[in-house]
Amino acid sequence: MPETPTEPGGLGRVLVVADPLPSFVTYKDSTFAMMRELARRGVRLAACEPAHLHWRRGEPVTARVREVVLTGAADDWFRVSQQGREPLHAFDAVLMRKDPPFDAEYFYATHLLQQAEREGALVFNRPAALRDHPEKLALMEFADWAPPTLVTRSAEAIRAFHAEHGDIILKPLDGMGGRGVFRVGPDGLNLGAVVETLTQHGHTTIMAQRFLPAIAMGDKRVLVIGGEPVPYCLARIPQGGEVRGNLAAGGRGVAQALSEADWTIARALGPRLAARGLLLVGLDIIGEHLTEVNVTSPTCFQEITQQTGYDVAARFVDALQAAVAGTATQKAM
């Protein structure tokens, strides 16, 4: 593919590392919203999957990429203009937007992307920061904001936690979209079966948290871009007797202005996370408690924009341009 010259710090070409493009549900996909805003600004787009990353001794990290053009259609929303293998450092920015699970292949992809960084690529979010902030376990660093939480594979420890708190949530550490999340109430019904299933009979570590009744008002996704909170969040409200507010689990998304507690948590964490190379973070807040720190592929851009008029994708691309420009300025000094 021919390269497009760009001004120092500019965005001429961006590579998106993500799940297969045909799998995107474009009316709600945040990665699509990013791509659409980049295209609107005249940025050339290319895409690949983590499986397409490649390194060989004596060569830079490359990927088999497809340059794509957005069509504006709802279904056939992109067409491939050309394809081939390219070094990642040939792009002005690389967006790592692969959805969880944070499994071994995801881990390997972050190492390939980190090598590309050494060769000059600018990757967002930074690969080392992705590894250092697994989405459930990152909560441990910010325990002052968290509800009572336990991370263990011990059935005995989980039973004691349940006895102490009476009503708890159990969830796997590598899931997304509410998959594998269970609530066990004061009667302890099915606690043993749930623990055996999630821990695979003591072989897999899981998380337990005290149930927060404020979930009835929504599991709030608070987006932090470039260290600064977006002023609106999406409260994902459980429906039909569900305990999970996740949109993928049937939750209803209601955009709303940040509460005082939301602002306090987001402003406390935002600058610290941004300084580590996390351009985009999604904080999950129930009531006044932080429950997760999402860094792999935070979502809810389109829902917030559609309901409030606040253009989250434009805010993100502004921050991306500023980050790329800032890096170019540092290199020039």
**Which residues form the catalytic set?**
136, 171, 221, 236, 244, 284, 292, 294
Peptide linkage before 294 cis (omega within 30 of 0): no
**Rounded to the nearest 5°, which phi and psi values hold at 172?**
-70, 160
Q: What is the CB-side half-sphere exposure of residue 211 using CA atoms within 13 A?
A: 19
Measure the CA–CA gap between 148 and 145, rounded to whole angstroms. Answer: 10
Residue 282's contacts (CB-CB under 8 Å, 6 or more residues apart) are 221, 222, 223, 224, 293, 294, 295, 298, 299, 300
In angstroms and rounded to an integer, the radius of gyration of the C-alpha atoms of the chain is 21
Render 110-146 in DSSP notation, one character per residue.
HHHHHHHHHTT--EES-HHHHHH--TTGGGGGGGGGS
Cα separation of 119 and 61, whole Å?
8
Using CA atoms, how far apart are residues 83 and 65, in angstroms rounded to an integer? 6
Q: End-to-end distance of the chain based on CA atoms, in angstroms?
A: 31
Neighbouring C-beta atoms of residue 71, cutoff 10 Å: 11
Quote the CA–CA distance of 323 and 317 in Å, as a whole number: 10
Give one word for 167, left, alpha or beta, with left for phi > 0 and alpha for psi -120 to 50. beta
Please name the helix (run of DSSP H) or strand (run of DSSP E) that holds residue 86, with its range, or none.
strand 78-87
CA 1/CA 199 separation, integer angstroms: 47
Distance, CA of 96 to CA of 277 (rounded, Å): 12
Other residues' Cβ atoms within 10 Å of the Cβ of residue 89: 17
